[in-house]
């Protein structure tokens, strides 16, 4: 074998798997990343936003969710006490590499009162403890992690893996896009969000069992920060769930960014919208996503394709991300540049195209989003205001969830699947933790063999 372990993907999951293996004395490890190295990535280039050393986390606002109920499904594989310890372990590594010390969302009388008010508004508040790194600090933290691996793990960037290889039900390495084959005893697939479609294809090729995750589709909401100041001062990011009165669909807030900015992302030529917030720099606005969860049964079983279809439709109509005033949406008219110029909420994403999101979203999604905004307005008056901005579309393409063991091993012996790309996690901290789990399991087997 060329290596003992090959890791595919240098996002949080892959990085923490490599770090765990190095700390446990495993020296023959190769980490492959199809994107650029960290110092070569740029926020100005759409292809760098999701892909490269650090994964999508390099340009996120770096929220580490310490509550095990949010950010993934690891609680289904290990007990709560063990998961708490592992999340704390991963969090401690981030702090040791420069993440700030403050944690938001600690239980308090103010938070309990806020949860009661949310209940009256027919919203469920999910209490979450969050450490906020900040968009401007994420690259510095990742750079320190990069240096921690220097000389301990071989890293190749700009190196795309074409296929995962197996023989007689056992992992045996990878085939690169240039046709080169690299062999190993163990393979860890950590392709991240941008590798979701690739992971699905490889799982089908290897005959791995998968389960479709619901796809989350919705809008990025932007409004004056003062509207949500009470909410964000208490919890920084309020995770709220509502059930549509009309259709009963589950809709939630996601990735709340106090005093942040709306940003565009691009993957496979499709532009979508997201949000960031900095640790020190501040805008006058707060933004957050409102996402509707959609699950599918037979005969259709491809939620990723559905989400991409909605995103492509928005791109077709707007040439990219569309922005619309809430009052225009409710009046059945498109937003124009002249109307946006009169908007009291100044958009932080300048290159969004004024348009009409009613041509993009199915009626079911549109009604559910509006009902969520109405419920939020009861909790924070002003959310359902005329000058609230809606950007579309935001879509979370969670991979088909692979069938793995508590050690993150798939049905192919010695092939491990971790992180968001494997459908196991949905956030930075649980993705990192899944890497620790896989790294420890592989190290134990290799040392046992010795």
Res 46: pLDDT: 73
Mean pLDDT of 367-391: 98
Report pLDDT digits (tens) over 204-253: 999 998 887 788 999 999 999 999 999 999 889 999 999 999 999 999 99
pTM summary value: 0.88
Q: Is pLDDT of 1 > 90?
A: no
Per-residue 3-state assignment (H helix, E strand, C coil) for the chain: CCEEEEEECCCHHHHHHHHHHHHCCCCCEEEEECCCCHHHCCCCCHHHCCCCCCHHHHHCCCEEECCCCCCECHHHCCCHHHHHHHHHHHHHHHHHCCCCCCCECCCCHHHHHHHHHHHHCCCEEECCCEEECCHHHHHHHHHHHHHHHCCCCEEEECCCEEEEEEECCEEEEEEECCCCEEEEEEEEECCCHHHHHHHHHHHHHHCCCEECCCEEEEEEEEEEHHHHHHHHHHHCCCEEEEECCCCCCEEEEEEEECCCEEEEEEECCEEEEEEECCCCCCCCEEEEEEEEEECCCCCCCCHHHHHHHHHHHHHHHHCCCEEEEHHHHHHCCCCCHHHHHCCCCCCCCCCCEECCHHHCCCHHHHHHHHHHHHHHHHHCCCCCCCCCEEEEEEEECCCCEECCCCCCECCCECEEECCHHHCCECCHHHHHHHHHHHHHHHHHHHHHHC
User: What is residue 19's predicted lDDT score, i.e. its pLDDT?
Assistant: 98
What average pLDDT does this structure show over 149-170? 97
408 or 210, which is more confident? 408
Residues 6+ apart with CB under 8 A from 48: 35, 36, 41, 42, 59
**CA within 13 Å, CB half, 284:** 5
- pLDDT above 70 coverage of the chain, percent: 99
Report which of residues 194 and 38 the model is more confident about: 38
As a whole number, mean pLDDT of residues 178-201 equals 93
Give 333-371 pLDDT, tens digit per residue: 999 999 999 999 999 999 999 999 999 999 999 999 999
C-alpha 344: how far from chain center: 30
What's the mean pLDDT when you consider all of the chain? 94
Task: Extract the tokens encoding 19.
Answer: 């770090």
Q: Which residues pair with 409 in a beta bridge?
A: 416
Please enumerate in sequence order all residues whose Cβ is within 8 A of that of 8, keeping only pairs 6 or more positions apart, or say none. Answer: 14, 32, 161, 164, 174, 187, 188, 189, 190, 191
CA distances from residue 1 to 160, 162, 174, 252 in whole angstroms, order as listed: 20, 19, 12, 47
Please tell me the distance from the alpha carbon of residue 274 to that of residue 396, in angstroms, as a whole number.
10
Per-residue pLDDT, averaged over 150-162, amounts to 97
Name the percent of the chain lying above pLDDT 90.
82
Q: Which CATH architecture group holds 3-105+130-211+401-449?
A: 3-Layer(bba) Sandwich (3.50)
CA distance 48 to 267: 9
- Biggest CA–CA distance in the chain, Å, is 71
| Domain residue ranges in the chain | 3-105+130-211+401-449, 215-396
Q: Span 250-258, mean pLDDT?
A: 95
d(C-alpha 82, C-alpha 33), whole Å: 30
């Amino acid at each position: 074998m060329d290596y003992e372990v090959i890791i595919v993907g240098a996002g949080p999951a892959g990085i923490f798997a490599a770090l765990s293996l190095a700390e446990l004395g495993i020296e023959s490890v190769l980490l492959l990343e199809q994107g650029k190295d960290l110092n070569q990535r740029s926020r100005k280039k759409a292809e760098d936003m999701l892909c490269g050393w650090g994964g999508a986390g390099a340009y996120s606002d770096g929220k580490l969710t310490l509550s095990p109920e949010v950010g993934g499904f690891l609680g289904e594989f290990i007990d709560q006490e063990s998961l708490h310890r592992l999340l704390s372990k991963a969090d401690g590594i981030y702090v040791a590499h420069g993440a700030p010390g403050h944690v938001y969302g600690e239980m308090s009388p103010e938070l309990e009162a806020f949860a009661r008010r949310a209940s009256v508004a027919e919203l469920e508040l999910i209490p979450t403890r969050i450490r906020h790194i900040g968009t401007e600090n994420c690259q510095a933290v990742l750079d320190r992690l990069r240096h921690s691996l220097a000389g301990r793990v071989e890293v190749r960037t700009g190196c795309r893996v074409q296929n995962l290889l197996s023989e007689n039900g056992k992992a045996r390495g990878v085939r690169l896009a240039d046709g080169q084959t690299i062999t190993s005893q163990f393979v860890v697939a950590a392709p991240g969000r941008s590798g979701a479609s690739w992971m699905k294809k490889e799982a089908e090729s290897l005959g791995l069992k998968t389960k479709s995750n619901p796809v989350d589709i919705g809008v990025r909401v932007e409004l004056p920060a003062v509207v949500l100041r009470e909410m964000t001062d208490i919890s920084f990011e309020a995770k709220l769930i509502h059930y549509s009165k009309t259709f009963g669909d589950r809709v939630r807030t996601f990735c709340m960014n106090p005093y942040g900015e709306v940003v565009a992302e691009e993957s496979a030529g499709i532009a979508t919208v997201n949000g960031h917030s900095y640790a020190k720099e501040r805008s006058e606005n707060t933004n957050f996503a409102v996402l509707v969860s959609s699950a599918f049964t037979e005969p259709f079983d491809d939620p990723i394709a559905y989400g991409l279809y909605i995103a492509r439709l928005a791109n077709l109509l707007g040439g990219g991300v569309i922005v619309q005033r809430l009052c225009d949406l409710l009046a059945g008219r498109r937003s124009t540049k002249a109307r946006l110029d009169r908007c009291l909420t100044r958009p932080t994403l300048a290159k969004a195209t004024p348009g009409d999101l009613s041509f993009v979203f199915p009626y079911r999604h549109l009604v559910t989003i509006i009902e969520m905004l109405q419920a939020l307005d009861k909790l924070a008056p002003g959310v359902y205001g005329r000058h609230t901005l809606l950007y579309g579309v935001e879509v979370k393409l969670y991979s088909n969830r692979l069938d793995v063991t508590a050690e993150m091993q798939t049905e192919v012996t010695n092939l491990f699947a971790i992180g968001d790309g494997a459908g196991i996690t949905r956030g930075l901290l649980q993705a990192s933790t899944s890497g620790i789990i896989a790294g420890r399991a592989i190290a134990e087997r290799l040392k046992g063999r010795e």
